[in-house]
Amino acid sequence: MTPARPTAVPAPLERPHFIGIGGAGMSGVAKILAQRGARVAGSDAKDSPTASALRTLGATVHVGHDAGHLAPDATCVVVSSAIREDNPELAEAARRGLPAVHRSEALAALMEGQRAIAVAGTHGKTTTTSMLAVALTGLGLAPAYAIGGDLDAPGSNAEAGSGDLFVAEADESDRSFHRYAPEVAIVLNVELDHHANYASMDEIYDSFETFVERVVPGGTLVINADQEGARKLTARLAGRSGLRVVTYGEAAEADVRVLAVRPRGLTSEVTVAHGPAAPGAAPRELTFTVSVPGRHYAHNAVAALAAGIAAGVPAEGLAPALAGYTGARRRLQLKGEAGGVRVIDSYAHHPTEMAADLEAIRGGTPDGRLLVVFQPHLYSRTRELGAEMGRALALADACVVLDIYPAREDPIPGVTSELITDAARAQGAEVHAGHGKEAVPGMVAGIARPGDVVLTMGAGDVTDLGPAILARLGG
């Protein structure tokens, strides 16, 4: 692979104004644009380390939303699906006749001229994208990347790169992944989520089919051979011309087959068999380390391995490089230890993710109890999946369930955290209602004892509780 300097900043993104610039996806696009020479500006509801990291790159970041924040020479506003039509900066842009560019459109424009690897799926996108970005960087390939979460510090979710590969998280929630045209697409799993945008599994399958149809002619789809939704999608894609399909997983027919996942404390050792070196030869076996716990993270690493191979990266170099990934922020991130109790943070908010992270932590810490502080994310998701969330929480020894984090949604009558707590109690779980975050550190300190693990879990601001819990445990 010959390194290729990324193309120039595309118009009208030379002087963009990002509304909600501190968000994970928005800040990544803003960072790449700033690194490529654009004059980036934007605003966010509150200041943050991410905003500070952008300022160090020369970006202007305002706190709060006001029409006056839009610079006179702005060439466009960049928005996400979370920005409402009555936002004053968006209204001012419309008054001036400035184009409103969706975040995914901006990202697609930045990918042009490079070999894109797009990572899709209901769960695991951030981890798998991060694994690829870290491994390819460790191999000296200098990829560009855009991730939906920070690797190790605020602002580490994106890089302009100088090589020819661009690794990007592809978000299905609002169908924005339809805008990308990757050389390699990964589909980790297909489940019903994002209920405000999808009414049925048929709509989900149609959306993922559209994403796969965007793969460039002669490109590759890497897809899970084990997960039911992914298998059904593979069947629906049968016979597509110009598309190479590579399956991965534990299924006997998988092209990249997982032969073993051996837990090693909070890491795993993974053995896979992949394509034969010559026609008729036996598949080659490869063993490598995954530096985060849990079978699902091991499978994410195998998906990353298969995608890298499809992009021309030798497996023998890529596999050990994947061990360089030690976690992304909020993806089973160790926040600290106090009073003999470890506090770990998880972004999991869908029942499948929740169960997988709980099982991963349980497997890596067999001697202590597992205590969870869970914050439901979105009223619509809680309405549809609250009972399943409760059943997942029953895998813990005890849990505290907070009120629903609304994010972009308005309340739905009758939808509260009780949908989750009732379901968890029906499974025999020890459940405590946490109405008000300020009381939670004391509740946890009263439950935890040395040897336990506390997992703060959810996609909202529950992550803020980690330091406060550690302070109470240490006091």
Closest to 318 (Cα-Cα) out of 108, 78, 127, 138: 138
Q: How far apart are CA 268 and CA 289, in angstroms?
A: 6
Is 274 in contact with 256 (CB distance < 8 Å)?
yes
Confirm or deny that 122 is annotated as ligand binding.
Answer: yes
Which residues are known to be catalytic?
125-126, 169
Is residue 189 within 8 A of residue 152, CB to CB? The reply is: no
In this structure, the strands spanning 100-102 and 76-79 are: parallel
- List CB contacts of 114: < 8 A, sequence separation 6 or more: 4, 6, 7, 144, 164, 165, 166
Strand order in the sheet with 283-290: 158-159, 144-146, 165-169, 115-120, 184-187, 219-224, 243-249, 256-264, 267-276, 283-290
Q: Residue 124, annotated ligand binder?
A: yes
For residue 167, the cross-strand partners are: 117, 145
437: helix, strand or coil: helix
56 is in an annotated binding site: no
The rounded distance, in Å, linking the Cα atoms of 92 and 388 is 43
3-state secondary structure at position 372: strand
- Can the peptide bond before residue 10 be classed as cis, meaning omega within 30 degrees of 0? no
Q: Does the annotation list 127 as a binding residue?
A: yes
Residue 123 marked ligand-binding: yes
* Contacts by 410-419, CB closer than 8 A, 24 or more apart: 410/379, 411/379, 412/379, 412/380, 412/383, 415/379, 415/382, 415/383, 415/386, 416/382, 417/376, 417/382, 419/382, 419/383, 419/386, 419/387, 419/390
Distances (CA, A) of 38 to 27, 30, 161, 173, 437: 14, 9, 15, 28, 40
| Positions at the binding site for ATP | 121-127
| Positions at the binding site | 121-127
